[in-house]
Amino acid sequence: MAGLSLKNLHKTYGKVEVIKGVDLEIEHGEFVVFVGPSGCGKSTLLRMIAGLEDISSGELKIGDTVVNTVQPRDRGVAMVFQSYALYPHMTVYDNVGFGLRLKKTPKDVRDKKIREAARILQMEPLLDRKPAQLSGGQRQRVAIGRAIVREPEVFLFDEPLSNLDASLRMDMRMEISKLHQDLGATMIYVTHDQVEAMTLADKIVVLNGGVVQQVGSPLDLYHTPANLFVAGFIGSPKMNFIEVEVVEAAGGTVTVSGPNMTKISLARVSDGLNAGDKLTLGIRPHQLVPAENGTITGTVTLVENLGNETYVNLELASGKTLIVGLDGDFKVTLGQTLTLDPAPNKAVLFDAEGLAISAV
């Protein structure tokens, strides 16, 4: 197994730069997820690691070796794609063992590895079937088996679950997590789905426009987003953003107010704030708490009862709508007026550039 080191990696297609200087350290045995919207460069970065795309500039190390010009098959990586790309006329057994046969691995060694992969993935009863006789989840398991028998230092997954339906996706997510625990291998996993990222990752790398926005554990990103992009991308339903103005910044606190709310004071971490500065206040749906004479008041325009929790759309006087997450037992009706307070020390302030300037 090996860690990876990415130093100032760039990728350009002609004049278009799609990876704009990525620096990243990945520890040996870590489960790292690249997450971001479609087109942000996740697959390109993963394919650069795999050796399927040239590196325009920068340095990529796997273990202690710079691998910029090393052939894909010699990098000690195995990749699993969204499309399973199985050979339809071959059995599961032969599909899993195909790469080993190409490498002329002796038959008995091959057999042992295929059966071990089948055991890990609990697909021993499927070995004689053809891909057409498998469900989507089983096919993806075969594709993962093909990666396992190569015994790579690093597993690379590119949206492996995107073709599966929602409930199967959840099952497979748990299987991949368990696979990581069992093998202890370094894994890099690409997805556009922030829930997948939150549930699988030791470390999440949020990408946007070919630039790393933030690197951190799932809860780091959730509680202390570095900027508006990360704050809006991580967490479901999304964080609410309210335009506010600084009323007073003195001592250890900053007081802000907006057209939609009375004054609210937060712990201050930035010294450079002045009255009149325009900021954005970010508050997650569950951190808006019903209160008598709260700072934020609005009208309930939508109620979604999910059982253990209830989501409400709250329309403010300005016309802006906030999403509020309430306990499932909280009684709320359409059209009623609701007043709320942000939970203490849970709101985040962002400056005009969108950078977080208050700690949670």
Q: Which residues bind ligand ADP (CB under 6 A)?
A: 13, 16, 18, 36, 38-44
Q: Which residue is nearest to Mg ion (CB)?
A: 43
Cβ-based nearer residue to ligand ADP, 43 or 194: 43
Least Å distance, CB 42 to Mg ion, is 5
Q: Residue 27 and residue 5: Cα distance in Å, rounded?
A: 9
CB of 42 to ligand ADP, least distance (A): 4
Look at residue 13 and give the partner it binds from ligand ADP, Mg ion, none, a contact being a CB closer than 5 to 8 Å depending on partner kind. Answer: ligand ADP
Nearer to ligand ADP, 38 or 293 (CB): 38
Q: Closest approach of Cβ 315 to Mg ion, in Å?
A: 37
Calculate the alpha carbon distances from 299 to 195, 287, 324, 333, 335 in Å. Answer: 30, 18, 12, 10, 6
| Cβ distance to ligand ADP smaller for residue 26 or 123 | 26
3-state secondary structure of 327: strand
- Which does residue 82 bind out of ligand ADP, Mg ion, none, counting CB within 5 to 8 angstroms by kind? none
Going by C-alpha positions, the residue among 360, 324, 325, 41 that lies closest to residue 225 is 360
Residue with Cβ nearer Mg ion (43 or 140): 43
> Shortest approach of ligand ADP to residue 18 CB, angstroms?
4
Sequence letter at residue 155? F
Q: Which of residues 5-64 bind Mg ion (CB under 5 A)?
A: 43
Max Cα distance, the chain (Å): 76
Shortest CB 36 distance to Mg ion, Å: 10
Residue 169 binding partner per list ligand ADP, Mg ion, none, with a CB distance cut-off of 5 to 8 Å that depends on partner kind = none
In terms of CB distance, is 206 or 312 closer to ligand ADP?
206
Q: Which does 41 bind (CB under 5 to 8 A by kind): Mg ion, ligand ADP, none?
A: ligand ADP
Residue with tokens 């939150």: 198
Q: At what angle do helices 92-102 and 107-120 cross, to 10 degrees?
A: 130
Residue 18 binding: pick among Mg ion, ligand ADP, none (C-beta 5-8 Å cut-off by kind): ligand ADP
How far is residue 2 from each of residues 9, 51, 185, measured CA to CA in Å?
A: 19, 16, 8
Q: Compare residues 17 and 202 and give the one whose CB is closer to ligand ADP.
A: 17
**CA–CA separation, 45 vs 292, rounded Å?**
50
Please give the sequence-ordered ranges of beta strands (E in DSSP) within the chain, or none if there are none: 4-13, 16-26, 31-35, 57-62, 65-66, 77-80, 154-158, 186-191, 203-208, 211-216, 240-250, 253-258, 261-267, 278-283, 288-290, 296-305, 309-316, 321-327, 337-342, 348-350
**Size of site (CB under 5 A) for Mg ion:** 1
179 binds, among Mg ion, ligand ADP, none (CB under 5 to 8 A by kind): none
DSSP 205: E
Q: Which amino acid is at 165?
A: D
Q: Using CB under 5 A, list all residues that contact Mg ion.
A: 43
